[in-house]
């Protein structure tokens, strides 16, 4: 299986044009990628972003034609190349082989955008936005900022579902190191245990260029729903993780008044 070969389907004139049409004045874009099973959840995320920021600098990488059609119908900027991901997958939970294949493709999308001199905010579909995040993210001096997926009162654990990459040589080198490692170990990584791209990011974590975001401002699901002592008034978003299953995530969004469709 040629993981790195997938990059050729992203290094196109079409993607170049989309990125430069979508980016904001500071060369920032929100990047998402998903299959048809996550269309509704993703549209909830996108709606919250549009409504809270009044910005449209968001680009979806569709992994199937159904997703591409749905984004076109909702006037969401979208890139789709049928050869980039050829498996017929609707939804796969964390830890499965198909989940890992999709998660590893995330880093290829980020790398392709960084090569175009675009700052990339990666956003999973199970996120809701409350206010524009880039003004805060751009204040941070480090090249890469990653969500704190806090597990205990003092323990910091990164979450690859919300990450900001400045288009710098350091960011490009870091992502290239990750995708080269995945390419060399692809089949083993798909069938072994671990957390896919998140495990790779942790393996190569570099404090010189990376920072972990404040939990109050960019909370994960554990901090938001499990009564951690955070000030939610400071939050730019919330990530509905630490719960498994698409239906359970949607239900929790709805019960919390965070469903906007």
pLDDT tens per residue across span 129-140: 999 999 999 999
pLDDT higher than threshold 70 for residue 34? yes
Looking at residue 232, its pLDDT comes to 94
- Mean pLDDT for the stretch of residues 193-200: 80
Q: Write a three-state SS string for 77-106.
A: CEECCCCCCCCCCCCCCCCCHHHHHHHHHH
260 inside domain:
no
CATH number at residue 72: 3.90.550.10
Residue bearing the bigger pLDDT, 69 or 91? 69
**155 near 168, Cβ under 8 Å?**
no
What is the spatial distance between Cα 131 and Cα 108, in angstroms, rounded to a whole number?
27
Q: Predicted confidence band at 153 (pLDDT cuts at 50, 70, 90)?
A: very low
78 in a structural domain? yes
What is the number of domains present in the chain? 1
Residue at 122 is within a domain? yes
Question: Is a pLDDT exceeding 90 seen at residue 105?
Answer: yes
- In a domain, residue 126? The reply is yes
Quick one: pLDDT band at residue 88, thresholds 50, 70, 90?
A: confident
Residue 261 located in a structural domain = no
Selected residue with higher pLDDT from 6 and 152: 6
pLDDT of residue 96 exceeding 90, the answer is: no
Distance in angstroms (rounded) separating the CA atoms of residues 50 and 201: 29
Whether 10 is covered by a domain: the verdict is: yes
Q: How far apart are alpha carbons 126 and 158 in whole angstroms?
A: 16
Indicate whether 127 belongs to any domain.
Answer: yes
Report CA torsion sign: 195, 198, 201, 207: negative
pTM over 0.85: yes
Query: According to the model, what pLDDT value does residue 191 have?
Result: 86
Q: Does any domain span residue 244?
A: yes
* The pLDDT of residue 238: 98
| Rounded Cα gap, residues 76 and 93, in angstroms | 25
Q: Pairing mode, if any, of strands 144-148 and 78-79? A: unpaired
205-214 per-position pLDDT tens digit: 999 999 999 9
Q: Is the pLDDT of residue 193 over 80?
A: no
Range of the domain at 186: 4-255
Q: Give residue 108's pLDDT.
A: 98
Q: At what angle are helices 246-255 and 39-53 packed, to 10 degrees?
A: 40
Does the structure show a pLDDT above 70 at 55?
Answer: yes
Average pLDDT of the chain is 93
């Amino acid at each position: 299986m040629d993981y790195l070969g997938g990059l050729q389907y992203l290094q196109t004139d079409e993607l170049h044009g989309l990125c430069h049409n979508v980016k904001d004045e500071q060369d920032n874009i929100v990047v998402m990628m998903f299959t048809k099973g996550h269309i509704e959840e993703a549209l909830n995320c996108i709606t919250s972003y549009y409504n809270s920021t009044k910005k449209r600098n968001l680009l979806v990488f569709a992994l199937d034609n159904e997703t591409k059609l749905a984004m076109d119908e909702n006037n969401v900027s979208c890139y789709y190349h049928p050869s980039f991901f050829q498996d017929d997958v609707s939804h796969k939970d964390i830890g499965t082989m198909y989940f890992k294949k999709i998660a590893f493709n995330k880093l290829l999308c980020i790398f392709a955008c960084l090569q175009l001199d675009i700052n990339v905010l990666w956003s999973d579909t199970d996120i809701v936005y409350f206010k524009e995040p880039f003004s805060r993210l751009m204040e941070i001096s480090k090249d890469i900022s990653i969500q704190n997926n806090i597990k205990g009162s003092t323990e910091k654990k990164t979450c690859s579902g919300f990450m900001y990459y400045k288009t710098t040589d350091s960011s490009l080198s870091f992502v290239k190191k990750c995708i080269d490692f995945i390419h060399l170990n692809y089949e083993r990584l798909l069938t072994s245990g671990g957390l896919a791209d998140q495990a790779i990011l942790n393996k190569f974590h570099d404090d010189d260029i990376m920072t972990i975001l404040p939990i109050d401002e960019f909370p994960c699901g554990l901090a938001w729903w499990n009564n951690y002592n955070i000030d939610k008034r400071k939050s730019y978003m919330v990530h509905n993780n630490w719960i498994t299953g698409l239906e359970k995530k949607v239900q929790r969004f709805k019960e919390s008044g965070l469903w906007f469709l």
